Amino acid sequence: METLNLSILFYSFAIYYKKLITLNYIIYFIMYKKFLDLGLQPLANKYLSKKDLIKKKEHLYHLEVGFNKKSKLVSILKNISAEKMFDNKYPYRSSMSKTMRNSFKKLAQKVTKTFDPNFIMEIGSNDGSFIKNFDKKKIISIEPCKNVANITKNMGYKTYSNFWNIKLAKKIKSKVKNIDLIYAANTISHIKNLNSVFKSINHVLSDKGVLIIEDPSLLECFKKVSYDQFYNEHIYIFSLLSMKNLLKKYKFKVFNIEKLSTHGGSLRYYIKKDSNNKFRTSKKVKEQLNREMKFGLNRFLTYIKFSRNVENSRKKLRAILSKLKKQNKKIIGYGSTAKVCTILTFCKIKSDTLDYFFDTTPNKIGKYIPGSHIYVKKYSKPLTNEADYVFLGAWNFKKEIFNKERKFIKKGGKFITHVPIPKII
């Protein structure tokens, strides 16, 4: 009887969510409580050519976000294959911003001074913005996108063009024994199977070694209502609360954290094996946990409130843009980020509102943004009088961009942002 009831329940779900009948989804549905629905979205880094536009073939998925009450982990609910997202046409390049180049350089100097590692490994090395600060004999890197991995291979760095998993960990361990620093920036949040991630790290990291993870902070995302942090590649948005719970299972411990302003507010977690007594836990860990608890990241109600804030943000942004269009103002976009895909699609903003986007990334230029199909133009020199208003797609680099565009601003040029509230600046 119990089995029959369960089967009925299973099939009712299956019929209700016609498009999402995968076992994975059902499991997620049980584990995660949905709090945000960002509608049908494209894969954020799948830029389209003119030919693709004519063919009208674009993969869309339902972007829903859930909260795991037990582990406090926040995750998108749809499972998209890693091979599909991180293929040999991946366009993102970390080195496109001075802010990130500087951030990686600063960290490289800091870890050398603080930990003096024998050997370093980076997971998700992209175009080598971090590893290039080290001697080629001291570091190896992992980057699954073949086109991107070729950049660091050509620079002479040992690069494994694979996804991080136990098979690769075993291969690496058989060749290098003393990896005592592992770094992964904006990458662990991209890997669905966290069990495999941490087991594999445990396998290669020396007992006295340090693991440094850096990813967008859920607290900052909620405070800034930056719902654009949610897109297909950001499978998880971590908080210290969820990271702590997660690491417990693998006998890892966060012993220090740093609040970073990069990527709209990130957390850098310094992690060690439980058995390692070399590092004392910093009081910053407790302070961050207190901040997260005070904000309510442990309570579902906070998530419902965030979802309401997102809806208000959409209304306000649409109102600003439509008022400007009624006044016949010319608006363009600046920084064709992965994040902007979520905003444009969710707010139904197309090329009748934003004429085009300026961007510096070679593989995005001359193509169309997924979903909204807004054209990406090559950015080659500071703005003059290209538009009346500029929508900041790369709002996370506001400081860098405003510095570059100070003449445009001085002449009365205006920017529009959606964080923390949609406004003209």
**413 close to 383: Cβ distance less than 8 angstroms:** yes
**108 close to 122: Cβ distance less than 8 angstroms:** no
Binding to ligand SAH (CB under 6 A): which residues in 140-159?
142-145, 148
Binding to ligand SAH (CB under 6 A): which residues in 157-176?
163-164
For residue 281 the two structure tokens come to 């836990």
Q: Give the integer Cα–Cα distance in Å for 88 and 280.
A: 42
Binding to ligand SAH (CB under 6 A): which residues in 91-130?
92, 94, 100, 123-124, 126
Which strands sit side by side in the sheet containing 158-160, from one edge to the other?
158-160, 139-142, 119-123, 179-185, 205-216, 266-273, 252-260
For residue 242 the two structure tokens come to 């969820």
Q: Which does 223 bind (CB under 5 to 8 A by kind): ligand DWN, ligand SAH, none?
A: none
For residue 213 the two structure tokens come to 């993870």
- Tokens 């594999």 appear where? 200
Q: Provide the minimum distance between the beta carbon of 101 and ligand DWN in the complex, in angstroms, as a whole number.
A: 10
Q: Between 63 and 179, name the residue whose CB sits nearer to ligand DWN.
A: 63
Q: Is 413 in the site for ligand SAH (CB under 6 A)?
A: no
For residue 61, what is the enclosing H or E element?
strand 60-67
Q: Provide the minimum distance between the beta carbon of 88 and ligand DWN in the complex, in angstroms, as a whole number.
A: 16
Instruction: Say how many residues make up the chain.
Output: 425
Q: If you count DSSP H runs as helices and E runs as strands, how many of each does the chain have, helices first?
A: 15, 17
For residue 132 the two structure tokens come to 């290039």
Q: Is 211 in the site for ligand SAH (CB under 6 A)?
A: no
The footprint of ligand DWN (CB under 6 A) covers 92, 96-97, 186, 233, 263, 335-339, 359-361, 364, 379, 394, 396-397, 400-401, 404
Residue from 99, 186, 229, 361 in contact with ligand SAH (CB under 6 A): 186
**163 close to 187: Cβ distance less than 8 angstroms:** no
Q: Between 115 and 391, name the residue whose CB sits nearer to ligand DWN.
A: 391
Query: Which part of the chain contacts ligand SAH (CB under 6 A), choosing from 187-195, 325-333, 392-400, 416-424?
Result: 187-195
Q: Which does 97 bind (CB under 5 to 8 A by kind): ligand SAH, ligand DWN, none?
A: ligand DWN
- Burial readout 220-254 (b: 16 or more C-beta within 10 A, e: otherwise): bbbebbbbbbbbbbbbbbbbbbbbbebbeebebbb
Query: Which part of the chain contacts ligand SAH (CB under 6 A), choosing from 13-21, 180-188, 223-231, 383-391?
Result: 180-188
Q: Is 335 in the site for ligand SAH (CB under 6 A)?
A: no
Q: Between 42 and 335, name the residue whose CB sits nearer to ligand DWN.
A: 335
Q: Which does 108 bind (CB under 5 to 8 A by kind): ligand SAH, ligand DWN, none?
A: none
Q: Is 185 in the site for ligand SAH (CB under 6 A)?
A: yes
Query: Which part of the chain contacts ligand SAH (CB under 6 A), choosing from 35-43, 87-95, 280-288, 388-396?
Result: 87-95
Residue type, 66: G
**396 close to 335: Cβ distance less than 8 angstroms:** no
Q: Rule CB under 6 A: which residues touch ligand SAH?
A: 82, 86, 90, 92, 94, 100, 123-124, 126, 142-145, 148, 163-164, 185-187, 190-191
